[in-house]
Amino acid sequence: MKNIKIFYILSLLPLVWLSACKLNDLENVNQPTPDQFSKNASVAQLNTLVTGSISQMRANYDLYIDDLGVLGRESYRFSGSDPRYTSDLPGANGAPLDNNAFYTTNPYASRYATVKTLNILINAVNNTNIPADTAKQAYLGVAKTLKAHELLMVLNMQHENGIRIDVNDPEKLGPFLSREESFAAIAAMLDEGAQHLTTAGTRFPFLLPSSFADFNSPSTFRQFNRGLAARVAVYRSRFDEALTLLTQSFLDLNGNYTKGVYLNYSAGSGDRLNTLYLAPNATGDIRLAQPSWVAEAEATDKRLSKVLQRTTPATSAGLTGTHDIYLYRSNTDPTPVITNEELVLIYAEAQIQAGTPAEGALALNKIRTNAGLLPYAGPSDKESLITEMLKQRRYSLFMQGHRWIDMRRYNRLNQLPVDRAGDIVHTQFPRPFPEVGVQGG
């Protein structure tokens, strides 16, 4: 995958582009000049923006997963070059997170960089005479779906701070919206994307990466869109809405649980490697499973293959782990955006919450059976089934950025393990320092 090279004017930190970047700061050395994107763009230029947006989605994705994994007590991240993975993120001595640290600013800036590219794509489509309206709808449907996904990732970290949704005009940024207003705007964006895809014909006028193989037409991409919308709905506790959205998604209770949308990687020139992969038994840079993840798993759970016992335990800053995270077996393995397994778990949660616990338990048992476990034999009251659902999400969606969010939305962060005296579990990341004093900040 070729990358669009985006160069921002940086005086302090990457976020400065929110107030300073103009269209001509975006350059692609292999395509026409940036000004040509703004009006009457060619098909090749529009397709480059699609490709570049998906490529940009991978920037700092590993840091996002590390951030949420450590805060959600899924993982330890040991780094020979930065002790903040074992101090700031696990809340050592009760200290708050730093609003000017890499773990706060870099994921934030990367997600908005993708949003910027998608905004350029949307503006280019709207200012270009595209003969086939179906092609225009296809570009807009994909762009708004991906933009909503990126903004949701920002909101996941910012939580009650809320986020900026309108950043289309760098000279006139939209305000920070509340958390619920941000969710509503993201949901509306997904709905708009779905409507565009409904009228986008049967084929895309562009190619998507191979990791979108099952979702490379308007109708199947719309199923991806509706799956993301169902995720947003359960985050908003709109469970009946989630069930409706799932009927339009690629949910298949009896299907392939690994089917889904992924981001791919390669060792090709100019491409990215999956840096969530670290070799087993490494020293220096290490990702370890938080010990309770292994200790609290059922013995026959196939999902234990996501970790690998080290020949020697690793210790840093008073934290010790015995199992390396082994989700990825090479640095070119794809990373999931959303899978059928997550949709089955959303279905289970929504059914339990909507007052049909037997149907929710049935879905949970499908997850358990797929993992090599016996059917659930615990109490059938709502609270017990929610606990079981969260447990299955813990193991099925391990290190996909869900555990911290799940425990937070069920007010159970106090149930996460605290490894050292004085550690705290953070509830959100601070608003990044470069936003302080910026328009609307």
Query: Across-strand partners of 75?
Result: 289
- pLDDT of the residue at 36: 57
- pLDDT of the residue at 37: 75
Is 441 a member of any domain?
A: no
Tell how strand 75-78 and strand 335-339 pair up. unpaired
> Each residue's pLDDT tens digit in the chain (441 positions)?
333 233 232 222 333 333 333 323 333 433 333 455 777 889 999 999 999 999 999 999 999 999 999 999 999 999 989 999 999 999 999 999 999 999 999 999 999 999 999 999 999 999 999 989 999 999 999 999 999 999 999 999 999 999 999 999 888 999 999 999 999 999 999 999 999 999 999 999 999 999 999 999 999 999 999 999 999 999 999 999 999 999 999 999 999 999 999 999 999 998 999 999 999 999 999 999 999 999 999 999 999 999 999 999 999 999 999 999 999 999 999 999 999 999 999 999 999 999 999 999 999 999 999 999 999 999 999 999 999 999 999 999 999 999 999 999 999 999 999 999 999 999 999 999 999 866 666
Is 46 a member of any domain?
A: yes
Assess contact for 103 and 83: CB atoms under 8 A. no
Q: Give residue 114's identity as a one-letter amino acid code.
A: T
DSSP secondary structure, 368-403, as one string: HHHTT-PPP-S--SHHHHHHHHHHHHHHHTTTSS-H
Query: Distance from first CA to last CA of the chain, Å, rounded?
Result: 35
Q: Which of 421, 414, 417, 416 lies closest to 318 in space, CA to CA?
A: 421
Query: Across-strand partners of 305?
Result: none
d(CA 386, CA 384): 5
* Chain Cα centroid distance, residue 417: 23
- pLDDT of the residue at 118: 96
Place of tokens 């936003």: 435
CA gyration radius for the chain? 22
Is 311 a member of any domain?
A: no
Give pTM, 2 decimals.
Answer: 0.92
Which CATH number is 174's domain given?
1.25.40.390
* Tally of domains in the chain: 1
Enumerate residues 6+ apart whose C-beta is below 8 A from 418.
Answer: 424, 425
- pLDDT of the residue at 171: 85
- pLDDT of the residue at 3: 30
- pLDDT of the residue at 237: 98
d(CA 180, CA 344): 25
Enumerate residues 6+ apart whose C-beta is below 8 A from 252.
Answer: 259, 340
Task: State both tokens at 21.
Answer: 């970047």
- pLDDT of the residue at 66: 98
Is 3 a member of any domain?
A: no
- pLDDT of the residue at 438: 66
The DSSP element (H or E) to which 102 belongs, if any, is: helix 102-126
Place of tokens 């298949």: 252
Angle formed by the axes of helices 179-198 and 218-235, to 10°?
160
| 430 DSSP 8-state letter | P
Is 289 a member of any domain?
A: no
- pLDDT of the residue at 17: 33
Is 280 a member of any domain?
A: no
Q: Give residue 296's identity as a one-letter amino acid code.
A: E
Q: What range does the domain containing 64 cover?
A: 14-271+333-426
Q: Give residue 335's identity as a one-letter amino acid code.
A: T
Is 22 a member of any domain?
A: yes
Enumerate residues 6+ apart whose C-beta is below 8 A from 351.
Answer: 243, 357, 359, 360, 363
- pLDDT of the residue at 436: 80
Is 9 a member of any domain?
A: no
DSSP secondary structure, 114-176, as one string: HHHHHHHHHHHHHTS--S-HHHHHHHHHHHHHHHHHHHHHHHHHHGGG--B---S-TTSPPPB
